[in-house]
Amino acid sequence: MLLCALLFSIAARAELQPASSVMLPAMMPAPHAEPWPSPTLRVAVPAQNSAPWAMRIGDRIWGIDADYLSALSQLTGTHFILQSYPDRTQQLAALKEGKVDFVLSNEHAQLPDDFLLSDSWYNSPIRIYRNRENQRAVMFNSDNAQLTIAEATLAQLPDTFVRSHQWHRLPGDLQAMYALLNQQSDYLVADEASAGFLLSQLQQGQIYQITADPGAGELSLRALARDPTLIHWLNTQLRLLPAEFSNRVQQRWSPPLLRYQDTQTLILTRDEKQWLAQQQAIPFAVEADNAPWSYRDSSGNARGFGIDLLNALSQSTGLRFTPHWVSSPQQAEVLLKQHQVMLNLLQPLYGDDASSNTLPSGAPFGGFIP
């Protein structure tokens, strides 16, 4: 796999070439496309592989950075030579000393005043990721939530967002992803492109993305330069790239993941919070042999679609649900009236035929809270 190849590649400063895996779509010649006055532009890129942005294999750079540089080269005829530097400090030093013409990076917080930023080349929103096998009842916004993040990503987040959480910093997205996979953390915060690419390579289907926007902004690939004429030229040529090209780049490097509604950051009233704090466990009535809705496995554990729903609710609220096995809805109704259970999770007592295996339309379960 591509990920394995890039992990073994040696990162040393040298002149490299961008290798594109996404070609420009067939289009009419752009009337305003024009080459840079010099035949070659020198570009500083990270020496350390950062999937899927810049990945060195041999003397070539692959990834989002390379795709856009290759597209600009194809569009304008300008040749780009890439030079790798170990960190952001050395990249900016090379730019200041005139060793490179611009830096291509998604790290551009706290830049010196004489450095200029181009328009965004590619945007990747910051998202929250969760391991479905992690059954720890903790919300993303909880004080005891274990959040992992790559150091480079954390440096780009808004200060207010950073200060509102406790972070476990790791060197890169790959290490942070493994912490989530191994259930050493509750949530991963990463940009969508990086997480999507790594999960497509690792083929780990238990990781899903929470749909809610955490308010952490996005990573943005931009050019950093000191020459305003160069920045203007880059912005002008980028606007000539067809929208289809950007869509192809996204499809190539950031395939879509399973996404679920955010059940981890519920907004509760004061009374609801007080009620939750007072509940040690929520007993519920459930049938033991009503698969796939509910059943008891060989170890005696509750399983089924309804149990999965309660597990999701448990993760979002911290409530602990305990099953009370029954043989019929009628028995469950009696327990509910006697306050021996607080919830019935089974076929509802209404419809044309309560004994039918075909559930009434609308919802597969009837929930009754006294």
pLDDT at residue 274 in the model: 80
What mean pLDDT is predicted for residues 297-311? 85
Q: Is the pLDDT at 361 greater than 70, yes or no?
A: no
What mean pLDDT is predicted for residues 279-284? 87
What mean pLDDT is predicted for residues 59-70? 93
Count of CB atoms situated within 10 Å of the CB of 79: 14
Count of CB atoms situated within 10 Å of the CB of 295: 17
pLDDT at residue 31 in the model: 64
Q: What span, in angstroms and rounded, lies between the C-alpha atoms of 131 and 259?
A: 12
Phi-psi group of 200: left, alpha or beta (phi > 0 → left; psi -120 to 50 → alpha; rest → beta)? alpha
What mean pLDDT is predicted for residues 296-319? 81
Q: Is the pLDDT at 107 greater than 70, yes or no?
A: yes
**Could you tell me whether strands 282-287 and 343-344 are parallel, antiparallel, or unpaired per DSSP bridges?**
parallel
Bond before 18 cis per omega within 30 degrees: no
- Looking at per-residue pLDDT, the higher value among 286 and 358 belongs to 286
Q: Is the pLDDT at 229 greater than 50, yes or no?
A: yes
CA atoms 83, 84, 88, 89: torsion sign: negative
Backbone dihedral angles phi then psi of residue 237, each to the nearest 5 degrees: -70, -35
Contact 209, 188 (CB under 8 A): no
- Looking at per-residue pLDDT, the higher value among 211 and 80 belongs to 80
Backbone dihedral angles phi then psi of residue 105, each to the nearest 5 degrees: -160, 155
Q: Is the pLDDT at 168 greater than 90, yes or no?
A: yes
- Confidence category of residue 347, pLDDT binned at 50, 70, 90: low
Mean pLDDT of the chain: 82
**Could you tell me whether strands 15-18 and 60-62 are parallel, antiparallel, or unpaired per DSSP bridges?**
parallel
pLDDT at residue 28 in the model: 52
Q: Is the pLDDT at 367 greater than 70, yes or no?
A: no
Amino acid letter, residue 123: N
pLDDT digits (tens, 9 = 90+) for 288-297: 888 888 888 8
- The DSSP annotation for 105-157 comes to ES--SS--TT-EE---SEEEEEEEEEETT------TTSTT--EEEEHHHHTTS
**Could you tell me whether strands 207-210 and 147-150 are parallel, antiparallel, or unpaired per DSSP bridges?**
unpaired
- Looking at per-residue pLDDT, the higher value among 70 and 134 belongs to 70
Contact 224, 43 (CB under 8 A): no
Q: Is the pLDDT at 103 greater than 90, yes or no?
A: yes
- Confidence category of residue 164, pLDDT binned at 50, 70, 90: confident
Among the listed residues 36, 33, 15, 12, the one whose alpha carbon sits nearest the alpha carbon of residue 24: 33
Q: Is the pLDDT at 358 greater than 60, yes or no?
A: no
pLDDT at residue 259 in the model: 63
- Looking at per-residue pLDDT, the higher value among 218 and 356 belongs to 218
% of residues, the chain, pLDDT over 70? 83
* Alpha helices for the chain (secondary structure H): 2-7, 64-76, 88-96, 151-154, 159-163, 173-181, 192-202, 228-238, 243-253, 270-278, 305-317, 329-337
CB contact set of 262 (below 8 Å; sequence gap of 6+) = 128, 140, 210, 211, 212
- Across 238-318, the runs of DSSP E, i.e. the strands, are 259-260, 282-287, 289-290, 294-296, 302-303
What mean pLDDT is predicted for residues 54-83? 92
Our CA dihedral for 214, 126, 169, 264, rounded to 10 degrees, sits at: 30
pLDDT at residue 73 in the model: 92
Q: Is the pLDDT at 12 greater than 70, yes or no?
A: no
Q: Is the pLDDT at 258 greater than 50, yes or no?
A: yes
Domains, the chain: 2-122+219-253 (3.40.190.10), 125-217 (3.40.190.10), 270-344 (3.40.190.10)
pLDDT at residue 309 in the model: 83
What mean pLDDT is predicted for residues 72-76? 91
pLDDT at residue 19 in the model: 87
Q: What span, in angstroms and rounded, lies between the C-alpha atoms of 266 and 270?
A: 12
pLDDT at residue 154 in the model: 93
Enter the DSSP assignment of 54.
B
pLDDT at residue 32 in the model: 72
Q: Which residue is associated with the tokens 């979002």?
A: 316
CB contact set of 103 (below 8 Å; sequence gap of 6+) = 43, 44, 45, 91, 92, 94, 95, 223, 224, 225
Count of CB atoms situated within 10 Å of the CB of 156: 19
Q: How far from each other are the two terminal CA atoms of the chain, in whole angstroms?
A: 55
